[in-house]
Amino acid sequence: MFQDQNECIKNSVNGNEYFFNRNGELFCYIMEFYRTGKLLFPTMFLWNEDQGSRITYQHFEEELDYFQINKSKLFSSLASQIAKNSIDRYISSLEQSIISNYISFNNKISLSISDRNRSGNSVCDYKAYDILTNMKEKIEKHLVETFSELKLKWECQQKYDNISHCSFFEINISISSPIEKLSESESVQSRITFIQDPINKSEEKIILNIGGKKYETFQSTLTAQPETLLGTMFQDRNKSMRHPINGNEYFFDRSSEAFYYIMEFYRTGKITFPYESGKVIYKQLEEEFNYFQIPFNKSAVICSSALETIRNNINTLILTFEKLIIYCCNNFRNNIRIEIGCNGENRIVPSNNRRYDEENLRKYCLPKFKNRYMYHTLNNMQTHIRDHLVKKFSDLEINWRFSLYNSQIHISISLSFGNIYKNFK
């Protein structure tokens, strides 16, 4: 259709816009085929057809037929690609588990993967068991390299359980504690250069149209990274080589979801990976970083991003406790007790003579503790948090008591207003 000789058969609805009355949800997979030459298909559609899924395998075939994509050449590679995607997803799940445990200050991870479904995890154990049977050495090599900054060690043994008559893999993973890294003054991210001139308010904006989604930024934001694709492209000396599609808008036929992390790099100078995003996986991000010629050490980036998350969690906890203390000062409350469970549940322990203000405390102060990493952060960093609060509010003579009982943290904070009464003028 878009060959030059077929110009006369195209019917646009608005300039260079063309309308197809087809399934918009499935067209993203058609578009990825044109971008990458690979035919991808979400396997969940295969199993949801009986439940009345809006998109099925048959729908996918119909779209391929409509757009005249030769299935005979692609469907064998589609099946292979789905198998490869399953391996990628399993490895990615291991990576996510390692990062999640690191952020939770847990440096020992134990997994048991059997050849039968003992844990109610559907077909996950079967699939993981087969992958480990054939690839455990490759997976070990990948994880050791990926988490070299965390000094990862991997032990994987295949065993047989005589009681349940099943074979299983016993996996033990150890990583360094984040407390070791937190004490370092220099962040891993500081190895990445980021020099940006002050933005001139009269500077013209650049619009980057990535797969149909538009990102706005300044030229100086991009040129601050001169060794990258966009940093080189938008140097003044290369102006004649740029070809905008509309004024100062430039189109790149790449993944708009993944480009969010590319843009964050240009804005902040930091490379971040999405720990819990289902839309973008690590391997896809690596491909995008390579395309935009952004050099990065995956192990260093993962370690630095995880540490940044831990620091943010610590700062969030400190700020929450500061608000609690300030609230106590505002209401002349000289004692507050909090219980925080490992499942994120928390409560203010009622005080007989202060019940009237506890609803406000629950409403405004407690939500910050609900992050699932906060329990582990507080359990491991309570001394640091305590020392910060005692120093910052030295005139209140803060007394901090911490205890752990049945996976529940108990904190009691008491403060004195004696110095305030004494020195008030």
DSSP 3-state assignment of 275? coil
Q: What is the CA radius of gyration of the chain?
A: 28
Contacts of 54 (CB under 8 A, 6+ apart): 25
State the angle between helix axes of 298-330 and 374-392 in degrees (0 to 180), rounded to the nearest 10: 50
> What's the confidence (pLDDT) of residue 188?
41
Total Cβ atoms within 10 A of residue 261: 18
The residue count for the chain: 425
Instruction: Name residue 423's amino acid.
Output: N
Residue 155 has pLDDT above 80, yes or no: yes
92-119: average pLDDT: 85
Residue 195 has pLDDT above 50, yes or no: no
Q: Which residue has the higher pLDDT, 19 or 72?
A: 19
Taking the complete model, does pTM exceed 0.85, yes or no? no
Q: Which residue has the higher pLDDT, 199 or 300?
A: 300
Distance CA 193, CA 234 (A): 18
DSSP 3-state assignment of 91? helix
Residue 41 has pLDDT above 50, yes or no: yes
- Residue among 113, 98, 99, 28 at smallest CA distance from 67: 28
> pLDDT tens-digit profile of 369-415?
777 788 899 999 999 999 999 999 988 899 999 999 888 999 999 98
Range in 250-254, 304-308, 336-340, 361-365 with the lowest mean pLDDT: 361-365
Q: Which residue has the higher pLDDT, 81 or 252?
A: 252
Phi-psi region of 122 (alpha: psi -120 to 50; beta: other; left: phi over 0): left
Q: Indicate the pLDDT class of residue 191, thresholds 50, 70 and 90.
A: very low
Contacts of 318 (CB under 8 A, 6+ apart): 385, 388, 389
> What's the confidence (pLDDT) of residue 192?
43
6-28: average pLDDT: 79
Q: Terminal CA-to-CA distance of the chain, rounded, Å?
A: 84
CA separation, residue 325 to residues 146, 307, 320, 359, 365 (Å): 42, 27, 9, 16, 10
Relative to beta strand 205-210, strand 249-252 is parallel
Asked whether the beta carbons of 354 and 332 are under 8 A apart, the reply is no
Contacts of 253 (CB under 8 A, 6+ apart): 35, 211
Residue 122 has pLDDT above 50, yes or no: no
Distance CA 139, CA 145 (A): 10
10-26: average pLDDT: 80
Q: Which residue has the higher pLDDT, 76 or 346?
A: 346
DSSP 3-state assignment of 271? coil
344-363: average pLDDT: 69
Phi-psi region of 344 (alpha: psi -120 to 50; beta: other; left: phi over 0): left
Q: Quote the mean pLDDT of the chain.
A: 81
Asked whether the beta carbons of 174 and 153 are under 8 A apart, the reply is yes
Torsion of CA 29, 30, 31, 35, to 10 degrees: 90
Question: Quick one: how far is CA 304 from the chain centroid?
Answer: 13
